[in-house]
Structure 1
């Protein structure tokens, strides 16, 4: 992850959901919504499952899509303090190299798949959305042969590889800020070309003038970031409505 993955703004608001074991007692998840047929897994960014912005986004998806949204802890209980968003002088206090090693793709992917398999066994339709760190995760869930999700949304994804993009086999929406050192121009172009060649339904949303992380940690007081946040949320809601409510 780049330094941009740890920048941003903390939103005001009180989450409406609850926490519960998921899928076993070794994991916890924030759960919001009451739909018994349709579920969405939100894979958190670097600030983890307890970060207020992630939970508020889960609430919006649950209400506007009409789905039960699960935001599982994929960092083994470890979280980055959200107040560091407004105090960059604290960044040097964190062992970022160790944090990334402890939460590498290889370590966390088995848990990710276990969570998705649990939802697949309980619901008729399952979607996944991931921002930043969660971006690579939804690409993996969307891979051919897994049959774990019916559609995905990736917002300014990090740690994504060309192989991840090559494997996508379900309807995919990309929310891509113009300025992004993690989801590079090369990866953006490869996504566009590859999904067309594979005849996968996809929607590529370009957000001019804004940076990586704006969709989950944007500043509501900055017009460009506020507009991007609203547009990004609405785009994801529309995508999930289209592909999760067709039985």
Structure 2
């Protein structure tokens, strides 16, 4: 168990590597690396920060995901949340999940998140949304609390704090898998109950027949998993574009 109470289940680090050739670029912000990709119009006005799962920003699936956000009109920045220490594609027998988590708690990760958001705002990103997968989901929720992010989307979070859900002040879309052993049905119902109390627009969608990690590492040979992954991505795009158009205004703001 990590310093923030979360754990890594085997399903957080397993899945299928997808085919494709990422076309984004790398740069450094305050000493850590980010992967970024500009949209077809080359604008940075409307942006998405992609907070990855434990596999990190260099994992091919995550880079392809970032490229897809860019293809849909967003300037995408995907930071290395682990400073070169992401969980490897093939986990060795000696890998210690608990030790890894101890090295990547909020104290180590939040300075990276803050630096990325500040850098993007400083360089003309007017609308900044957060898309978080597994490990990265909780940071989307935390930065919806103070307006640092304008809208959020999370897929199969590996852990969340009740206060994170209760304190959000911007719209949040949540997608989950029916057979998720980490973000279980009980967790989904708990989160929905908490989100209802906030008065903030939210959406909760459950896809049948899929497990934890489906939105990033689905089996490309299984039509049900591919459908769920593609629909979850489309939800993120439509959620962001709707709140971009409406200015993320809602009753009580």
TM-score (norm 2): 0.89
CA contact (8 A) 2:69 2:76 kept: yes
Q: Does 1:78 align with 2:78?
A: no
List alignment gaps of at least 5 residues for structure 1. 85-89
List alignment gaps of at least 5 residues for structure 2. 1-7, 248-253
- The CA distance in 2 between the partners of 1:127 and 1:193, in whole Å, is 23
Quickly say closer, same or farther: Cα 1:149–1:223, change in 2 above 3 A. same
- The CA distance in 1 between the partners of 2:187 and 2:117, in whole Å, is 25
CA contact (8 A) 1:140 1:164 kept: yes
How big is the shift at 1:93? 2.9
Aligned match for 2:35, one of 2, 24, 30: 30
Q: Where does residue 111 of structure 2 map in the other structure?
A: 110
How big is the shift at 1:91? 4.1
Aligned match for 2:135, one of 133, 142, 146: 133
Whose helix proportion is higher, 1 or 2?
Answer: 1
Deviation readout 1:178-234 (Å, 9 max, x if unpaired): 122322333211221222222111111111111000110001111111111111111
- The CA distance in 2 between the partners of 1:216 and 1:67, in whole Å, is 19
- The CA distance in 2 between the partners of 1:171 and 1:80, in whole Å, is 30
How big is the shift at 1:246? 4.4
Q: Which sits farther off after the overlay, 169-178 or 113-122?
A: 113-122
CA contact (8 A) 1:120 1:148 kept: no
- The CA distance in 2 between the partners of 1:203 and 1:63, in whole Å, is 24
Deviation readout 1:105-157 (Å, 9 max, x if unpaired): 232122212222222333111000010101111111111xx220110001001
Q: Does 1:58 align with 2:66?
A: yes
Q: Where does residue 250 of structure 2 map in the other structure?
A: none
How big is the shift at 1:245? 4.2
TM-score (norm 1): 0.91
Structure 2 SS opposite 1:211 = coil
- The CA distance in 2 between the partners of 1:244 and 1:120, in whole Å, is 15
Structure 2 SS opposite 1:170 = coil
Aligned residues: 236
- The CA distance in 2 between the partners of 1:194 and 1:165, in whole Å, is 6
CA contact (8 A) 2:162 2:194 kept: no
Aligned match for 2:9, one of 2, 7, 11: 2
- The CA distance in 1 between the partners of 2:118 and 2:245, in whole Å, is 20
CA contact (8 A) 1:177 1:209 kept: yes
- The CA distance in 2 between the partners of 1:126 and 1:245, in whole Å, is 13
Deviation readout 1:26-79 (Å, 9 max, x if unpaired): 111000012221111000111011000001000101111x11000000101113
